[in-house]
């Protein structure tokens, strides 16, 4: 799928690097994947822009948090006041209850009720904080006063006055606590402000140390300069070197005071100038903030008259055209996909019907083979049962035949024994004819007849038994012949059944093999159908992913092109603006610096001249007063000065 996606990316951007993995460098360390990429600079710029936006977000969050801190500070102050007032109120309640129930002897009638001061009607802070509880306070106080015992009028008046005084005390305590807390806060703020002021003063001292050193140097050089005949040179000489550790003269003190006043005036003027500069800086900062707000909240008309807006509008129209084209292409592709889906569904239904028909035919053949196999098995079972019966009957017949043969053998043995006996008897008869004759002659006719009759009966019995045995033997022989014929027929049937069974078995094996092959074919078809479906789904997914990737790549490409053009236009405009602003700022800064320096210098000189003028006026007044006092030395000095 990656191989299929890769050409689309190369079609959109031929300058993009290949998507193959780069070889690792020495020691198995992989190089930075973005080190040699063409978008390295863009990535760095985007990272810096993101960091800058994050910093701006942090600044906005800082402003928001500062405002929240201010609100929380106000709320904390309010809650502190609230707690102090509630504490004072409860103290007042306890005091009033103590006053009410402290004196057990104060019981009277027809006296006015005790006037409570728990509502603090004359205090605005208490009213603001206790307004939500005024109804509860009134109800509680009214119940308490109703249950309170009646006191004397003077006592009640004293109680009311005492309650008022206690309430005023509580108000004063609350205000005092508030003032103390505010004082503590103000002290902390004063410490912080003084620390900042000291740091600023140190910075200011460092800033004007050059000016002070220069002024002192000028003053020292002016004091050491050789003077002429004027009074200033004499005064400077007198103030420069005191004699024998004497205290400096008033002229020296006046000069020092004059220098100090001059320096103080210059420093005050410089401080005023610094205040003016700070005010101007604050004004400029407010103007910059207003301009930033105006730039951050530009109107639609301001945007509409810009070249960037026109360019964006043209690009937007181009994008709309492309989107419409892509939508039409998407509709066409969806119709083609629907047609392909319908064809695939029809082909799948046709294949399912054909395979179902083949499966039904195979099932019918299999059922027919199974019915034939069941019939063959039934015939085989019948033949086996008949064979077993015939075997049993044949065994019985063979047993009977063996018995008949044994009987015949016994009969033959008996016959032979009888024949031998007959022969022996015949011999005996021949030898004893005479005795027999004599014996027979000695017997009577009845005895002979009886004996003959007995012998006749015995012979009949033997003959009947012999004929019966012969008949039985004949029957057995016929039965044996018939059984042999039936056996031959059964053998023929058995062999025929075995042949048919073998044929049926071969047919069943063939059908089973065909069934297995059919099931294998069906499973293969099902697997192939599932694989086809998965392949179609994967192909559709790949097509969708390819379309999405193509769309995203094209969108990114167009966005990057658009952003590049916008950035180029913006950068060009900003460069021009920056160059122009730099030139203007340089000119204005130089002009402003020279002007402000000249103004500050002139103002410092003016202040120094003002201080010198004031000192001169003071010295003039001093000299006037001294001249009015007729001081001889001073008069002589003035005379010498005038000369």
Rounded CA gap, 179 and 182, in Å?
5
- Residues 232-259 have a mean pLDDT of 47
- In this structure, of 55-64, 165-174, 376-385, the range with the lowest mean pLDDT score is 165-174
Q: Measuring CA to CA, how many Å separate 600 from each of 36, 189, 283, 595, 605?
A: 58, 32, 20, 8, 8
The rounded Cα 478 to chain-centroid distance in angstroms is: 105
Rounded CA gap, 259 and 223, in Å?
12
- Residues 411-415 have a mean pLDDT of 74
- Residues 365-371 have a mean pLDDT of 81
Element (H, E) at 280: helix 250-296
Burial 451-489 (b: 16+ CB within 10 A, else e): eeeeeeeeeeeeeeeeeeeeeebeebeeebeebeeebee
346/205 same-domain check: no
Q: Is the pLDDT of residue 479 over 60?
A: yes
Give the DSSP letter of residue 18: P
Whether 160 maps to a domain, the answer reads: yes
- The count of other CB atoms within 10 Å of the CB of residue 611 is 21
376/524 same-domain check: yes
| Number of domains within the chain | 2
Element (H, E) at 186: helix 153-224
- In this structure, of 276-285, 493-502, 538-547, the range with the lowest mean pLDDT score is 276-285
Indicate the burial class of 77 (C-beta count within 10 angstroms; 0-12, 13-18, 19 or more): middle
Q: Is the pLDDT of residue 24 over 70?
A: no
pLDDT digits (tens, 9 = 90+) for 160-189: 777 777 777 777 777 777 777 777 777 776
Whether 278 maps to a domain, the answer reads: no
Rounded CA gap, 559 and 563, in Å?
6
Rounded CA gap, 277 and 592, in Å?
12
Whether 245 maps to a domain, the answer reads: no
- Residues 100-119 have a mean pLDDT of 46
Whether 510 maps to a domain, the answer reads: yes
pLDDT category of residue 424 using cuts at 50, 70 and 90? confident
In 3-state terms, what secondary structure has residue 117?
Answer: coil
Whether 86 maps to a domain, the answer reads: yes
205/354 same-domain check: no
- Residues 70-79 have a mean pLDDT of 82
Whether 118 maps to a domain, the answer reads: yes
Rounded CA gap, 386 and 491, in Å?
11
Mean pLDDT score across all residues of the chain: 70
Q: Is the pLDDT of residue 519 over 50?
A: yes
* Closest listed residue to residue 487, CA positions, set 401, 392, 400: 392
Whether 7 maps to a domain, the answer reads: no
Rounded CA gap, 614 and 262, in Å?
10
Write out the residue range of the structural domain in which residue 368 sits: 342-561
Please work out, in degrees rounded to the nearest 5, the angle formed at the alpha carbon of residue 165 by the alpha carbons of 159 and 95: 60
- Residues 539-548 have a mean pLDDT of 81
Q: Pick from 189, 209, 229: which residue ends a domain?
A: 209
Q: Pick from 561, 591, 612: which residue ends a domain?
A: 561
Question: Is the separation of the CB atoms in 150 and 105 below 8 Å?
Answer: no
pLDDT digits (tens, 9 = 90+) for 583-640: 777 777 677 767 777 777 777 777 777 777 777 777 777 766 765 655 555 555 555 5
Q: Rounded to a whole number, what is the distance in angstroms from the first to the last CA of the chain?
A: 117
- Residues 406-412 have a mean pLDDT of 75
Q: Pick from 561, 587, 615: which residue ends a domain?
A: 561
pLDDT digits (tens, 9 = 90+) for 194-211: 776 777 677 666 656 665
Q: Is the pLDDT of residue 235 over 60?
A: no
393/540 same-domain check: yes
pLDDT at site 241: 39
pLDDT at site 217: 63
Question: Is the separation of the CB atoms in 112 and 162 below 8 Å?
Answer: no
pTM above 0.85, yes or no: no
Rounded CA gap, 412 and 524, in Å?
82
Whether 98 maps to a domain, the answer reads: yes
């Amino acid at each position: 799928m990656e191989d299929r996606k890769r050409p689309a990316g190369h079609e959109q951007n031929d300058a993009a690097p290949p998507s193959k993995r780069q070889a690792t460098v020495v020691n198995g360390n992989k190089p930075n994947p973005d080190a040699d990429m063409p978008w390295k600079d863009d990535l760095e710029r985007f990272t810096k822009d993101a960091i800058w936006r994050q910093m701006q977000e942090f600044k906005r969050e800082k402003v928001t948090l500062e405002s929240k801190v201010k609100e929380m500070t106000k709320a904390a102050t309010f809650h502190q006041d609230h707690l102090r007032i509630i504490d004072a109120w409860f103290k007042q309640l306890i005091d009033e209850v103590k006053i009410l129930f402290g004196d057990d002897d104060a019981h009277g009638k027809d006296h006015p009720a005790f006037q409570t001061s728990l509502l603090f009607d004359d205090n605005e802070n208490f009213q603001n904080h206790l307004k939500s509880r005024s109804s509860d306070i009134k109800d509680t106080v009214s119940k308490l006063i109703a249950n309170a015992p009646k006191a004397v009028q003077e006592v009640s008046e004293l109680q009311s006055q005492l309650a008022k005084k206690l309430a005023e005390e509580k108000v004063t305590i609350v205000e005092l606590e508030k003032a103390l807390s505010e004082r503590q806060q103000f002290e902390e703020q004063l410490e912080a402000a003084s620390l900042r002021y000291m740091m600023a003063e140190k910075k200011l001292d460092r800033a004007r140390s050059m000016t002070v050193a220069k002024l002192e140097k000028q003053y020292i050089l002016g004091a050491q300069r050789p003077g002429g005949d004027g009074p200033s040179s004499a005064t400077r000489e007198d103030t420069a070197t005191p004699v024998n550790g004497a205290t400096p003269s008033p002229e020296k003190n006046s000069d020092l005071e004059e220098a100090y006043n001059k320096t103080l005036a210059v420093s005050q003027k410089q401080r005023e100038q610094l205040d003016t500069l700070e005010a101007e800086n604050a004004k400029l900062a407010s103007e910059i903030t207003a301009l930033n707000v105006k730039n951050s909240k530009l109107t639609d008309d301001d945007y509409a008259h810009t070249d960037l807006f026109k360019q964006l509008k043209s690009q937007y129209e181009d994008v709309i055209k492309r989107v419409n084209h892509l939508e039409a292409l998407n509709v066409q592709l969806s119709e083609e996909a629907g047609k392909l889906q319908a064809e695939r569904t029809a082909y799948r239904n046709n294949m399912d019907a054909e395979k179902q028909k083949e499966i039904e035919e195979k099932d019918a053949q299999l059922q027919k083979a199974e019915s034939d196999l069941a019939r063959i098995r039934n015939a085989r079972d019948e033949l086996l049962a008949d064979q077993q019966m015939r075997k049993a009957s044949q065994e019985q017949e063979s047993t009977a035949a063996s018995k008949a043969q044994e009987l015949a053998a016994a009969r033959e043995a008996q016959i032979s024994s009888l024949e031998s006996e007959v022969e022996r008897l015949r011999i005996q008869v021949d030898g004893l004819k005479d005795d027999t004759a004599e014996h027979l002659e000695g017997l009577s006719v009845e005895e002979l007849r009886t004996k003959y009759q007995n012998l006749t009966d015995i012979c009949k019995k033997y003959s009947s038994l012999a004929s019966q045995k012969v008949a039985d033997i004949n029957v057995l022989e016929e039965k044996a012949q018939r059984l042999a014929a039936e056996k031959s027929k059964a053998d023929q049937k058995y062999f025929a059944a075995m042949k048919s069974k073998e044929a049926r078995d071969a047919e069943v094996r063939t059908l089973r093999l065909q069934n297995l092959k059919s099931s294998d074919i069906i499973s293969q078809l099902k697997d192939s159908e599932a694989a086809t479906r998965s392949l179609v789904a994967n192909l559709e997914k790949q097509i969708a992913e390819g379309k999405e990737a193509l769309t995203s790549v094209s969108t990114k490409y167009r966005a990057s092109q658009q952003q590049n053009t916008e950035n180029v236009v913006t950068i060009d405009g900003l460069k021009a603006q920056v160059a122009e602003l730099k030139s203007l700022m340089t000119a204005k800064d130089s002009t402003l610096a020279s002007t402000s320096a000249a103004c500050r210098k002139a103002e410092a000189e003016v202040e120094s001249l003002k201080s010198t003028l004031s000192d001169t006026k003071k010295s003039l007044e001093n000299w006037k007063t001294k001249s009015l006092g007729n001081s001889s030395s001073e008069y002589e000095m003035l005379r010498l000065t005038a000369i």
